[in-house]
Amino acid sequence: MSNELSFAKLGLITELNEALESANYTQMTETQAACLPDVLAGKDIAVQAKTGSGKTLAFALGLLSKIEVNAKNPQALIMCPTRELAEQVAEQIRLLAKRMSNLKVVSLVGGMPMGPQIVSLRYGANVVVGTPGRIMDHIGKRTLSLKKVNTFVLDEADRMLDMGFEDEMKVVMHNLSQTALAATRQTLLFSATYPEQIQIITKQYQRDAKIIKVEEDK
Ligand code: ADP
Ligand code: MG
């Protein structure tokens, strides 16, 4: 099947096409169709789309397309407002990455002991998904290296701000801006609303981000 909303037209690697097929994802949502060409082209985008529109897949396919499994340090960092959302995103990425052998997704969430997280990071994490406070803790302890992060995702950015994570978000983004990859890193921002605080973050921390507003989605 090939049509306007077909994943086939994206030219994804076989491993991802097979994972989409076995997960029974056949058609892109409107949001995915609106974002994926820019995501896969490496562009920065700020997406406003409502809950349930399939935003996770929109960034997961992008970052997984760029992963070099044998690299030592994490290449993708995703920040989510809550533990539950971070775990859900990690699960979704693991599902999509199941044909990419040895690819490791580590979640760094609060309320869990640091020790096992540190061990997982030391063992080699390709993709890191976490909550703002815990990501900041690991950066502070130097147990999470940002130097190879080529994709940074702010998921549910408006909710993170509502929950009072502005300082943590800024500390993480500042740390990312101090690395050598800062000039070429892709930053993807997703939000259900687009308040002024988010526009400021977009201007300050994204590179000429395209604003994509998806009005309708199933
Ligand atoms: P959002 O982050 O926009 O709230 P999610 O990424 O959590 O949305 O996706 C919502 C639900 O839709 C999930 O259960 C996900 O598995 C499903 N989904 C996402 N993309 C597709 C698709 N292309 N086809 C079918 N189901 C999809
Ligand atoms: Mg989401």
Q: What is the pLDDT of residues 148-207, one digit of tens each?
A: 999 999 999 999 999 999 999 999 999 999 999 999 999 999 999 999 999 999 999 999
Residue whose CA lies nearest to ligand 1 atom number 10: 52
Please return the burial class of 213, using the count of CB atoms within 10 Å of its CB with bins 0-12, 13-18 and 19+.
exposed
> Mean pLDDT across the chain, nearest whole number?
95
- Integer Cα distance of 90 and 56 in angstroms: 10
Residue whose CA lies nearest to ligand 1 atom number 25: 25
Q: How many CA atoms lie within 13 A of 23 on its CB side?
A: 20
Per-residue model confidence (pLDDT) at position 92? 98
Residue whose CA lies nearest to ligand 1 atom number 21: 54
Identify whether the C-beta of residue 45 lies closer than 8 Å to the C-beta of residue 38. yes
C-alpha 216 – ligand 1 centre gap (Å): 14
The radius of gyration of the chain's CA atoms, rounded to the nearest angstrom, is 16
Whether 108 shows a pLDDT value over 70: the answer reads yes
Backbone φ, ψ for residue 136 (5° rounding): -65, -40
Whether 217 shows a pLDDT value over 70: the answer reads no
C-alpha 206 – ligand 2 centre gap (Å): 20
C-alpha 79 – ligand 2 centre gap (Å): 11
- Tell me: the pLDDT tens digits for 47-85? 999 999 999 999 999 999 999 999 999 999 999 999 999
CATH topology classification for 31-213: Rossmann fold (3.40.50)
Q: Which ligand is nearest to the CA of 33?
A: 1
Q: Which ligand is nearest to the CA of 55?
A: 1
Please return the burial class of 25, using the count of CB atoms within 10 Å of its CB with bins 0-12, 13-18 and 19+.
middle
Looking at the CA of residue 25, tell me the nearest atom of ligand 1.
24
| Ligand 1 touching residue 28 (CB < 6 A) | yes
* Cα torsion 98, 99, 104, 105: sign: negative
Place of tokens 């409107």: 30
Domain ranges of the chain: 31-213
Q: Residue 52: which region, alpha, beta or left (left: phi > 0; alpha: psi -120 to 50)?
A: left
CA distances from 138 to 1, 2, 54, 128, 158 (A): 45, 44, 29, 11, 23
3 falls in which pLDDT band (50, 70, 90)?
A: confident
C-alpha 88 – ligand 2 centre gap (Å): 9
Whether 133 shows a pLDDT value over 90: the answer reads yes
| Ligand 1 touching residue 157 (CB < 6 A) | no
| Ligand 1 touching residue 89 (CB < 6 A) | no
Per-residue model confidence (pLDDT) at position 4? 86
3-state secondary structure of 202: helix
| Ligand 1 touching residue 25 (CB < 6 A) | yes
Q: Which ligand is nearest to the CA of 57?
A: 1
Average pLDDT over residues 207-214: 96
Whether 1 shows a pLDDT value over 60: the answer reads no
Tokens of 146: 């940002």
